[in-house]
Structure 1
């Protein structure tokens, strides 16, 4: 089953599940309860912490939920904040960080790279969390639309349409969709 965030990021071949950690986890859980898929593929956009360029395609099976407070040592969590799917689909070890907030502090975000975290997408950590609970293999394929800096939103808006076309073309090239 192919899933995507929704709102302005929808595809005719994917099921929209909502934006952010909460909407996506609630709606994906509901879907899994009524029609559990054999495999989940999440597709969407991502912001780069600097390692990946605009319009790069990144495959991943690893996600984190690391807030900026962790990097500044002003917060901690007793929860597991990095998850990995047991599948051989994704060919990239980039960790995708998820938060309900879009990062805009370029200097601070560079620190994510030290932890192996390369991009951010609002939903992927919740996708892996739900998939883990239902024992469903999962992967994500992302297209970079922006860097995590003060221009993140403007660049996302400017690059979004072309990025979605590039992502769709990539899925066709890989025979994931027709």
Structure 2
């Protein structure tokens, strides 16, 4: 099953699960309860912490939920904040960070690279968490639409349509969709 966020990021061949950690967790859980898929592929856009270029496509099987406050030693969590899928088809080491907030502090956001975290996407951590709970293999394919800086939202809007086209072409080239 191919899933995506929704709202302005939808695809004819993917099931929209909602934007952010909460909506995506609730809606994907509902799907898994009533029609459990054999495999989940999450597709969507991402912001780069600086090591990936706009329109780069990244496949990943790892996600994190590390807030900016963690980078400034202003918070801690007792929860597992990095998850990895057992899916061995994807070998990329890029960790995708998820939060309900988009990073706009470029200098602070670059620190994510020190932890092996290269991009951010609002939903992916919850997708891995739900897949883990239901013992479903999972992976993600992302296209970079912007950098995590003060222009993040404007660049996302400017690049989004072209990025969705390029991501779809990538999925066709990889024989994931027809």
Q: TM-score range by the shorter chain?
A: over 0.9
Query: What is residue 176 of structure 2 aligned with on the other side?
Result: 176
Q: Deviations over 1:34-58 (max 9, x none)?
A: 0000100000000000000000000
Gaps in structure 2 of 5+ consecutive residues = none
Residues 22-171 of structure 1: matches in 2 within 5 Å? 22-171=22-171
Rounded to whole Å, the distance in 1 between the matches of 2:151 and 2:74 is 25
Q: Deviations over 1:45-100 (max 9, x none)?
A: 00000000000000000000000000000000000000000012223110000000
* Matched residues, number: 178
Query: What is residue 4 of structure 1 aligned with on the other side?
Result: 4
Gaps in structure 1 of 5+ consecutive residues = none
Rounded to whole Å, the distance in 2 between the matches of 1:161 and 1:138 is 25
SS at match of 2:115: coil
Please, what is the CA RMSD of the aligned residues?
A: 0.4
Rounded to whole Å, the distance in 2 between the matches of 1:92 and 1:50 is 17
Structure 1 segments of 4 or more deviating over 6 A?
none
Query: TM-score w.r.t. structure 1 length?
Result: 0.99
